[in-house]
Amino acid sequence: MRRTSVRQKTVVENVAIFDIAEEGKGVGRDGELVVFVEKAIPGDVADVEIYRKKKNFAEAKIIALKTASDLRTEPFCQHFGDCGGCKWQHLTYEAQLHYKQKALTDALERIAKIDVSSLLPILPSPETRFYRNKLEFTFSDRRWLTNAEISSGETFATDALGFHVPLYFDRILDIQKCHLQSDFSNDIRNAVRNFAIKNSISFYNLRNHEGALRNLIVRSSSTQELMVIVVFAYAEPNQVDSLMEFLKAGFPQITSLLYILNQKKNDTIFDQEVLTYHGRDFIYEEMHTDFTGIKTVRFQIGPKSFYQTNSQQATRLYEVARDFAGFKGDELVYDLYTGAGTIANFIAGKVKQVVGIEYVESAIEDAKVNSQINNITNTKFFAGDMREVLDASFMGQNGRPDVIITDPPRAGMHPDVVQRLMEISAEKIIYVSCNVATQARDLLVLKEKYEVTKIQPVDMFPHTQHVENVLLLQLKK
């Protein structure tokens, strides 16, 4: 390797990429210095420009690809490299699965310090494009121009409807076609953008908090039902009516057409009133099961409902959790972080009773409704902070669980909750996680009483570094 300085920027030649980091960047070395390289993959040899240097590592970008890795493939999206999503499109899907499994193995061994001999091969996603059932787009009057657009010399409109550019909260990349959700989503987004521009409906300014149009959310389901939510900020009533009527008339396939008036400083809608313009205020999602008497479980999905974004893989994920538990039919199960009760209702036909706990009250109401519409009578749901709800009094009223299923958010379980699981000492814990690092952290405590006997990663998010992981923990004898 040779190092040169160009315009006070450090260029390192012939950097060999040998691994991928957790955030999806390629890993190489400049002597003893670890270099994380954007859009680089193992097997690449490249000249790189270092743009950020710390004591123990540096960050760089490729300025000349000398040798392309055999693992490279042509990205299929015109926005690849500018959009913050799908960072692994240039990596073959087989290689993506390999490096996800490798990263998961490394985290469990390095952080949790457990034996991973029970690790099963990762379950690939049946679909690697158009697999998401939900996307949220942002309006902005500060469109991000790509390098290609800038160098073209053309003049571009400043309004954009798309995704946030990495590291810039107020800049939005205008998206023409996204390969994550069905083409219906693309048609809706492009039609809304064009209508708004044509009718002079202003796009939101994220710095000054001005403008009429703020967000667009599109949800779809395996039942072919569609939900569209338009989030307005400072819009005139006639602007709201004209856009919503345009959507109603132009897209009759929309099952649930909703809107929100959000003038807060942040984009969260959980504390906002959702108004129904046309149709229902929910759509239906279905999961097929093999339970006697319940072949399909149906879920009502509202604008604020949590549901796994890859519908096909969600079924496989829950099948893994169910099969790991090995239910006999007489178990009392606690389902922690139950959300809308998807896992609870999915397994209800196989156990004696399921008790679900969730912090978000609206989600608990969804869970109860989902039991009702499936005629499931052996579930109970409670809302509250897991640290406060899951105490001795709660167990006294609801019984000591034989099996605990826990599916926490990315931050993992609070230490108090982990300690409570140690005290409860259920025979089995099924730990579902979207962040193996926090899952491994929690295992450091749980492994004192539990043995990890099965590990099953499930790829829910093709072309990203993210992966779901399911563990079976059995109480040591």
* CB-based contacts of 20, cutoff 8 Å, min separation 6: 26, 27, 41, 42, 99, 103, 465
Euclidean distance between CA atoms 152 and 150, whole angstroms? 5
Instruction: Give the pair of three-digit tokens for residue 174.
Output: 């205008």
Q: Is residue 434 annotated as part of the catalytic site, yes or no? A: yes
Terminal-residue alpha carbon distance, the chain: 56
Euclidean distance between CA atoms 446 and 69, whole angstroms? 40
Instruction: Give the pair of three-digit tokens for residue 122.
Output: 């990762």
- Which of these, 362, 144, 156, lies nearest to 273 by C-alpha position? 362
Are the C-beta atoms of 138 and 214 separated by less than 8 Å?
A: yes
Euclidean distance between CA atoms 423 and 318, whole angstroms? 26
Task: Indicate which residue of 77, 83, 86, 434 is catalytic.
Answer: 434
Diameter of the chain measured on Cα atoms: 71
Q: How many CA atoms lie within 13 A of 90 on its CB side?
A: 19
Euclidean distance between CA atoms 465 and 443, whole angstroms? 22
- Which of these, 249, 227, 231, 250, lies nearest to 240 by C-alpha position? 231
* CB-based contacts of 169, cutoff 8 Å, min separation 6: 206
Count each helix (H run) and each strand (E run) in the chain, helices first.
Answer: 11, 23
- Which of these, 6, 15, 116, lies nearest to 51 by C-alpha position? 6
DSSP H helical ranges for 425-470: 436-446
CA 315-316-318 angle, 5° bins: 65
382 three-state secondary structure: strand
Euclidean distance between CA atoms 103 and 100, whole angstroms? 5
Active site residues: 434
